[in-house]
Amino acid sequence: MLENIDVTLINWSRAQFALTAMFHWLFVPLTLGLAFIIAFMETIYYKTGDLEWKRITKFWMKIFGINFAIGVATGLILEFEFGTNWSNYSWFVGDIFGAPLAIEGIMAFFLESTFVAVMFFGWGKVSKRFHLTATWLTAIGANLSALWILVANAWMQNPVGMKFNPETARNEMVNFWEVLLSNSAVNKFLHTATSGYVLAAVFVVGISCWFLLKKRHILFAKRSIIVASVFGIISSIMLIGTGDGSARDVAQTQPMKFAAMESLYEGQTQAPLIAIGLFGSSHDDPMHRGSEQDFLMKIEIPNMLSYMAFLKVDAFVPGIKDLVLGNEAQGIMSYKEKIRRGYEAQQTLKAFKAAKKKDSAEYERLLAKFNDQEWGDNYFKYFGYGNYYDPDPEQLELNAFKIVPPISLSFYAFHIMVGLGMHFLLLFMVVLWLTLKNKIENKRFILYTALWTIPLAYIASQAGWIVAEVGRQPWVIQDLMSTMTAVSKIDSSAVIITFWLFAVTFVALAIAEVRIMLKQITKGPKEGGNN
């Protein structure tokens, strides 16, 4: 069933969406975190009346505005791509994916865009209290926008609160609150949002340290460092907690992704966590049938992977081979069996469509089948696996090994993200302590470290999304729809052309933003509080 797939179309569609998403995410996290940092700074100004805090607030507000405008532009393109390049996906998900996006547009976007105007242009035109309220509502609105997008993404990772309607061949929402408040959605939002807070804190600390290196705006820089580093420490602690919750959720809902994150081929009890690892050679062959990857070096924490996944040091963590080949002793179904069951579910849907026109008795029987919870849990649950079915047993086994994400990329992205997260927390604590002790301006190594940590924050942010999206391949909706069936039936040349058009546009936007930001940063905050 794989021979008629247009691989070129799939690969270029994936590349285009990845390009748009990664450029969009260059702007979003700074918006999420900087909005709250600005709100805290303005709150201090409101409480103290100190015009220096107003000057600080207005400077960072300019940086926020530049970033916000370009983030909106890339986000609109991203949403349009669901209809142009992924129309089969858009149809299959029904209102489940559309509802959160609609709420995002109606409530969060309008809340954010309404009050952002007051925040930027309301100085001296509205009361200090109303202006402060507008700033806080802008920050809340920005994060509400992210909430609904991330709820939709979490549903793709763990589809809950829905029921498949065979009449329309679409999934329909039956429990909005289950979609909104599932463990996957809560962890996805909290972890992603706090990662944005950490990035923004790193950004503010790094730019402030640049001012100290240049011996300019010393009071401005030190006050900015104090607010951002305190915000960064709190956010980093939250990030660690939400990351732990996210990893546990992945272990239970996406065990293959979890195994890929740790390059765990053979399942283990008391499984160790690889804190640091470097592959000497890779066995990421197309069928993923190699033995465990050879590590040039690795540092392990005993029992930690088992505890991370199931809160038990002696818990069994399934490996890649357990999931593909099955493990009867651990109650793990093989991918071949899931493929067979998914194929039966797809054939049942085809028979239902045929019976709808000819045989009312058969139609009612098959409709009852789709409405049966037990049949859904045992067959429809694996609907997407059916696309990998092949009557040839040998080819079926080969296809089963194709349902594995890229191991090396998932492993490195996960460990880079975690390692840099610990670096950020340590940096925040060091710069806060040195600033409070009035020693920070003399520690040039720390100042340069903070400055060059800014690009590392963006790398960590992108690595997190690589783990989330590459780690769940080949699924666009976990177990229900593969990427190859989600694409629109369009000419691949159109996707290739638009890919390069978007690439040029996004690079130009990124260059423009960096140049405008550098110009504003170089100018620095204006003297006086009424600029």
Examine residue 307 and state whether it is found in any structural domain, yes or no.
Answer: yes
Q: Examine the domain organization and report whether 270 and 323 are in the same domain.
A: yes
Residue-level pLDDT at 288: 45
Examine residue 372 and state whether it is found in any structural domain, yes or no.
Answer: yes
Examine residue 213 and state whether it is found in any structural domain, yes or no.
Answer: no
Q: Which of 328, 351, 371 is the last residue of a domain?
A: 328
Q: Which of 312, 328, 344 is the last residue of a domain?
A: 328
Buried b (16+ CB within 10 A) or exposed e, 308-345: bbbeeeebbbbbbbbbbebbeeeebebbbebbbbbbbb
Examine residue 115 and state whether it is found in any structural domain, yes or no.
Answer: no
Peptide bond into 474 cis (omega under 30): yes
Q: Examine the domain organization and report whether 358 and 392 are in the same domain.
A: yes
Examine residue 382 and state whether it is found in any structural domain, yes or no.
Answer: yes
The CA-CA-CA angle for residues 324, 415, 242, to 5°, reads 90
Q: What is the DSSP letter of 39?
A: H
Q: Examine the domain organization and report whether 357 and 340 are in the same domain.
A: yes
Q: Examine the domain organization and report whether 351 and 379 are in the same domain.
A: yes
Residue-level pLDDT at 283: 54
Examine residue 196 and state whether it is found in any structural domain, yes or no.
Answer: no
Class of residue 229 by CB neighbours under 10 A (exposed 0-12, middle 13-18, buried 19+): buried
Ranges of residues in the chain with a pLDDT under 70 are 1-4, 105, 107-109, 112, 281-294, 359, 527-531
User: Cα–Cα distance between 193 and 29 in angstroms, integer?
Assistant: 7
**pTM listed for this prediction:** 0.91
Q: Examine the domain organization and report whether 270 and 324 are in the same domain.
A: yes
Q: Examine the domain organization and report whether 352 and 320 are in the same domain.
A: no
- Select from 145, 183, 143, 187 the least CA-distant residue to 161: 183
Question: Domains in the chain: how many in total?
Answer: 2
User: Cα–Cα distance between 411 and 455 in angstroms, integer?
Assistant: 21
User: Cα–Cα distance between 398 and 325 in angstroms, integer?
Assistant: 11
- C-beta of residue 400 within 8 angstroms of C-beta of residue 388: yes
Examine residue 54 and state whether it is found in any structural domain, yes or no.
Answer: no
Residue-level pLDDT at 281: 64
Tell me the residue range of the domain where 344 lies: 334-402
Residue-level pLDDT at 293: 53
Q: Examine the domain organization and report whether 318 and 362 are in the same domain.
A: no
Contacts of 525 (CB under 8 A, 6+ apart): 55, 56, 58, 59, 217, 220, 531
- C-beta of residue 67 within 8 angstroms of C-beta of residue 200: no
Contacts of 223 (CB under 8 A, 6+ apart): 52, 53, 56
Q: Which of 346, 379, 402 is the last residue of a domain?
A: 402
